[in-house]
C-alpha cells in the first residue's frame, strides 16, 4: 500500500511538473511553482526528485524501460524490424492517444538544449539495453557483433525522427502513421542476415 501511494505521489508530481514546464518553459518554472501545482510540499518534491530536470529524466527513463520490456515480450522468432516496430510503437502510440499532454512535453524536451542533451544521454542506455535484448534474441554478443548495437541505434533513430516530425507538425501528423513510414525505410537493414 505504501509503495502504491509513493507511485501515485510520484506520478502526480511528474504530471504537474511536465505540464507546467511545457506550458511556461523549462528555464522559467521554479520548484515552488511545481509543488504548488501538485499540491505538495517542497520537502515532498525533493523526496522524489533532486531537481526539476530530474522529473523529465525520470519520465524518459520510464519510457526507455517500457520500450525494452515491449521488445523482450515479443515472440522469439519475429523479424527484428517487426519486434522493434512494436517496441517503439507503444510510447509513440501513447503520445498519439494523448496529444494534449504529450505534445507539449515532447516539444519541451526537443526544444530545450539541456533536456535534449539528457534525452540523448538516456537513449545511450536505451540503445545498450535494446542491443543486449537483440543479441539475446539472435544469439549474438553485443560486445563483439556489430548487429545488435546498429539495429538498436537504427530503431532509436527512427523513434527520434518520428518524435521530431510529430513535434514539428504541432501534432498534425499521426505518430502511429509516422512510425510505420519510418520502419518501412529501416526494415530492410534491420532484417538483413
Confidence of residue 172 (pLDDT cuts 50, 70, 90): very high
Query: Are domains 1-49 and 52-190 of this chain identical in fold?
Result: no
Q: pLDDT for 135-165, tens place per residue?
A: 999 999 999 999 999 999 999 999 999 999 9
Q: Which residue has the higher pLDDT, 74 or 3?
A: 74
81 is written with which cell numbers?
524490424
52-190 maps to CATH 1.10.357.10: yes
Count of CA atoms in the C-beta half-sphere (13 A) of 79: 12
14-18, 44-48, 165-169: which is most confident: 165-169
Handedness of CA 152, 154, 155, 156 (dihedral sign): positive
Architecture of domain 1-49: Orthogonal Bundle (1.10)
Confidence of residue 185 (pLDDT cuts 50, 70, 90): very high
DSSP category for residue 76: T
* CA angle at 133 for the pair 142 and 11, rounded to the nearest 5°: 125
What is the residue extent of each domain of the chain? 1-49, 52-190
pTM metric for this prediction: 0.86
SS3 content of the chain, % helix, strand, coil (to 5): 80, 0, 20
Is 77 strand, coil or helix?
coil
73 is written with which cell numbers?
515480450
Amino acid at each position: 500500500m505504501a509503495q502504491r501511494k509513493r507511485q501515485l505521489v510520484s506520478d502526480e508530481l511528474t504530471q504537474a511538473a511536465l505540464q507546467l514546464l511545457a506550458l511556461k518553459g523549462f528555464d522559467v518554472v521554479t520548484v515552488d511553482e511545481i509543488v504548488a501545482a501538485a499540491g505538495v510540499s517542497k520537502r515532498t518534491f525533493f523526496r522524489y526528485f533532486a531537481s526539476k530536470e530530474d522529473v523529465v529524466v525520470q519520465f524518459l527513463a520510464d519510457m526507455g524501460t517500457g520500450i525494452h520490456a515491449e521488445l523482450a515480450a515479443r515472440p522469439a522468432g519475429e523479424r527484428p524490424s517487426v519486434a522493434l516496430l512494436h517496441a517503439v510503437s507503444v510510447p509513440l502510440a501513447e503520445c498519439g492517444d494523448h496529444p494534449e499532454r504529450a505534445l507539449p512535453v515532447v516539444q519541451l524536451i526537443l526544444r530545450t538544449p539541456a533536456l535534449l542533451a539528457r534525452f540523448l544521454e538516456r537513449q545511450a542506455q536505451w540503445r545498450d539495453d535494446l542491443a543486449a535484448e537483440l543479441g539475446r534474441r539472435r544469439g549474438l554478443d553485443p560486445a563483439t557483433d556489430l548487429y545488435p548495437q546498429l539495429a538498436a541505434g537504427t530503431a532509436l533513430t527512427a523513434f527520434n525522427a518520428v518524435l521530431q516530425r510529430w513535434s514539428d507538425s504541432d501534432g498534425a501528423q499521426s505518430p502511429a502513421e509516422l512510425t510505420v513510414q519510418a520502419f518501412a525505410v529501416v526494415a530492410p537493414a534491420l532484417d538483413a542476415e
